[in-house]
Each structure stands twice: as C-alpha cells, then as structure tokens.
Amino acid sequence: MKEQFHHLFPPTEAEFRSMWENGIFSFDANVLLSIYRYSEETSKALLSFIMQADKVRLPHQFALEFMRNRAKVIVAEANKYQAAYHALEKIEQGCRPKSEHPHLSAPAQEAIALIKEELSTSRKQMEGLISNDDYVNSLHEAISEKIGQEPSESELSKLHVQAADRFRTSIPPGFADAKTKAPPECYGDYVAWAQLINIAATEKRDLIFVTDDAKADWWRIESGRTIGPRPELLLEFKKLSGQRVWFYPSDRFLSSAETYLKAQFGEKVIEEVEARVAQEREEEEAKRAKPDVPRLDSSSEDKHSPSIIDKTKTTPDYKGT
C-alpha cells in the first residue's frame, strides 16, 4: 500500500535521515528575507548555517524574489523602530508637566532616553542595509554559484501559461496568490516549484524545502489544522523528478538540523524563530479557523510538520535549474 500511495504516508525515520544526510536544501524567499526581521544574533546564526551548507541550492525565482523584496522588508523593519521611538516620545510628553501626575523619576527619564537612542541607532543601521548590506554580500559569496539558471523568456512564458491553467482548477502551488497578486507576479510560486523539481531531477537527490508560507496551496489543511505538505505536491515531485521532497517551516528545520546534522543554533535562536513562525502561521490559519476545532496537545505534533494550531496535472517544461 505504501508503494502505491507513498505521497499519503510521511517518510519513515530512516527515510528522513537519508534525506537529511544525502539530500539538498532549498530556502523560500520568505525564509531568506526573515534574516532582516530577526535579531542580529539569530540572523548571523541562520546566515552562517546557509553559508556553510554545501548542499544548499536556490531556484532562480527565489533568488529573484529575495532581491526584489529585500529593500521593502528593510524599510518596513526600520519603520518599526521609528514607530517605537514615537511611542516613547508620547510617553515623555505626557509626563513632562511637573505640577501634575504622572511623574517620572530621573532614572526612568534616563532609561527612556537610552531606549530612544538605541532605537534611533538601530533604525539608522537597518536603513543603511539598503546601500551597504553585509547580509546580502555574505549570501552572494556563499550561494551565488548555487543559484539556478535564469529561464529564457520563452521558458518563463510557458511556465506562466501552465500556472494559469493550474490555477483555474486550484492545482497547487501558488493559486492562493492569485487572490492578492496580479499576473505574472502571482505565478512566482509555481515557477519556483518547477525549478525545484528540475534541480532535484538534475542532481538525482532528494530535496528538503524550507518555507514559512503557511497558505493552503502548499500545506495539507484538515479541519483548520496544518498536517503536512500537500500530498499532490509530493506525488508530482516524485513523478517528475524521481526524487522525494519534504517541506519544513523554519523552526522545524532548525530543530531537525540539530538532530540530523548536529548543527548548534542555541536555545535563544530557536525560540526567536519559533515565535516568528508561530505568529505568521496563526495569522494565516486564523483566516480559515473553525471555532469548533479543539486545541490539540503539543505532544501530538510531528517534529517534521508545522506546529498544529487551532483555528489532470501539468508537467513543467522548464529544464534549467
């Protein structure tokens, strides 16, 4: 039965270990962009792992999306520092009259001044990444030769046509983006998927795909719960590449890397990534949450799948990597 319906069964522990030891890794653009959202310690830890992992491969589409969106993410993060700065200014202004409450002690006022100074410095450092980005420079040095070849206009046009055909009948991945993005931008996930398939087929190696995209066109959702990768994607990947694929959100990828690769990230790094991934996942799953779905105990969760939170095939023509 498992041979006929392998896409409906998760890999065995031995198969997972083989994928980690012999397979290749690929990171969605949203994972790479999160480097700008984490603390400096966590960003450096993730970047160091990516740089040292000789098994990393990146589809051209993900590299393109990363470069297109990095400035937008940097500005958004800088704006958060600015918002916090203004919030502290309002607190100061509300406490300035010395003849009425509330009164702030001198140490409290000094503490606010120090926090404002740190926020201002951090904002300037973040904005400085737009023109002088050590992160992107390090990524370039580490994986520039591991980025797939850019598709020709003809190849890209064929992929866009295939994506449009698939979206009409909600064939994953990417159809969820059609609700919020216009063509051809909404076809990005499918283009990347086709490129991932070709990477695995060319290298004849299983692939571990790391993504923090929690939408239902990547993940199997049952009664509002994220169970694992969509079975039809596992089946398509195997049929077209001859290899297996498995998806991990960032937090589960890091914890599994510690298990299978003896990587060391530290508790603080893991907790920060878990918190961000959980927040993004909750926001996405809240859109489809059902009030009658009970919360599951965390002990029931599969370490290879996202944390469970309540709430006619078209063959890719692109042959490059």
Q: Where are the alpha helices (DSSP H) in 95-105?
A: none
Query: How many domains does the chain fold into?
Result: 1
pLDDT value of position 294: 41
Would 186 be classed as within a structural domain? yes
Residue 95 placed within a domain: no
Higher pLDDT, 49 or 3: 49
Range of the domain at 26: 6-70+134-300
Contacts of 34 (CB under 8 A, 6+ apart): 46, 212, 250, 276
Residue 178 has pLDDT above 50, yes or no: yes
Task: Please provide the distance, in angstroms rounded to a whole number, between the alpha carbons at the two ends of the chain.
Answer: 33
Which CA distances in Å does 216 have to 17, 219, 248, 284, 302? 27, 5, 14, 9, 18
Residues 24-39: pLDDT tens digits?
A: 999 999 999 999 999 9
pLDDT, residue 99, reads 58
Six token digits for residue 156: 């890209």
270: nearest Cα among 285, 284, 283, 257: 257
Domain assignment present for 275: yes
Place of tokens 């990095």: 70
Reply yes or no on whether the pLDDT at 242 is more than 60: yes
- Is residue 83 situated within a structural domain? no
The model's pLDDT over 187-198, given as tens digits with 9 standing for 90+, comes to: 999 999 999 999
| Residue 98 pLDDT greater than 70, yes or no | no
pLDDT in tens, 148-161: 999 999 999 999 99
For residue 10, what is the domain's CATH number?
A: 3.40.50.1010
Nearest by Cα to 233 from 205, 203, 207, 204:
207
At residue 201's C-alpha, the angle toward residues 195 and 206, to 5°, is 95
On the question of pLDDT at 84 being above 60, the answer is: yes
Question: CA distances (Å), 293 to each of 88, 217, 298, 309, in order?
Answer: 40, 21, 15, 10
What would you measure as the largest C-alpha separation in the chain, in angstroms?
A: 80
14 occurs within a structural domain: yes
Report yes or no on 155 lying in a domain: yes
Q: Is 309 within the bounds of a domain?
A: no
- Please calculate the CA angle 39-228-265 and round it to the nearest 5 degrees: 30
Q: Is residue 56 part of a domain?
A: yes
